């Protein structure tokens, strides 16, 4: 099985930036769609962004548009989430997830992603 491993979380002030990375353990992500999700205490896990296997198709949550950028480098087998202009409401554990289905549509549905990393904590102070 392909296991995502997230890194890059930390503590930043509002308006700051972080770059999260997702690496593959036990295989390659290159043929799979990848999603970033986040979960804050007491809240449901929510969609942030997703990217197709080629990197040509991208989808963002409304909260992420204009501030976050998802990208992938299939030569390095990594997926990144660049987060700019961070807000306190962005505070959450961020997860990288793998959609192994052979479909073209990028989905926001948590259940469509079969393999999940352990998460990396992002804390944004006011």
Judged against a pLDDT cut of 80, whether residue 1 lies above it is answered with: no
Residue-level pLDDT at 18: 98
The 10s digit of each residue's pLDDT in 72-125 is 998 999 999 999 999 999 999 999 999 999 888 999 999 999 999 999 999 999
Q: How far is CA 108 from the centre of its chain?
A: 12
| % of the chain exceeding 70 in pLDDT | 100
Looking at the DSSP bridge assignments, the partners of residue 76 are: none
Residue-level pLDDT at 104: 85
Residues 59-90 as b/e (b if ≥16 CB within 10 A, e otherwise) read bbbeebeeebebebeeeeebbbbebeebeeeb
Residue-level pLDDT at 46: 97
Residue-level pLDDT at 85: 98
Mean pLDDT for 34-43 is: 97
The 10s digit of each residue's pLDDT in 2-13 is 899 999 999 999
Judged against a pLDDT cut of 80, whether residue 37 lies above it is answered with: yes
The whole-angstrom separation of Cα 51 and Cα 43 is 24
């Amino acid at each position: 099985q392909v296991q995502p491993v997230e890194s890059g979380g930390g503590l930043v002030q509002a308006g700051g930036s972080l770059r999260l990375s997702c690496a593959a353990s036990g295989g390659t992500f290159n043929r799979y769609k990848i999603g970033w999700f986040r979960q804050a205490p007491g809240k449901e896990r929510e969609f942030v962004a997703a990217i197709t296997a080629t990197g040509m198709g991208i989808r963002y949550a409304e909260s992420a548009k204009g501030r976050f950028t998802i990208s992938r480098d299939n030569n390095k087998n990594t997926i990144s989430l660049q987060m700019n202009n961070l807000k306190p409401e962005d505070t959450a554990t961020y997860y990288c997830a793998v959609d192994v289905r052979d479909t073209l549509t990028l989905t926001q549905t948590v259940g469509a992603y079969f393999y999940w990393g352990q998460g990396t904590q992002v804390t944004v102070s006011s």
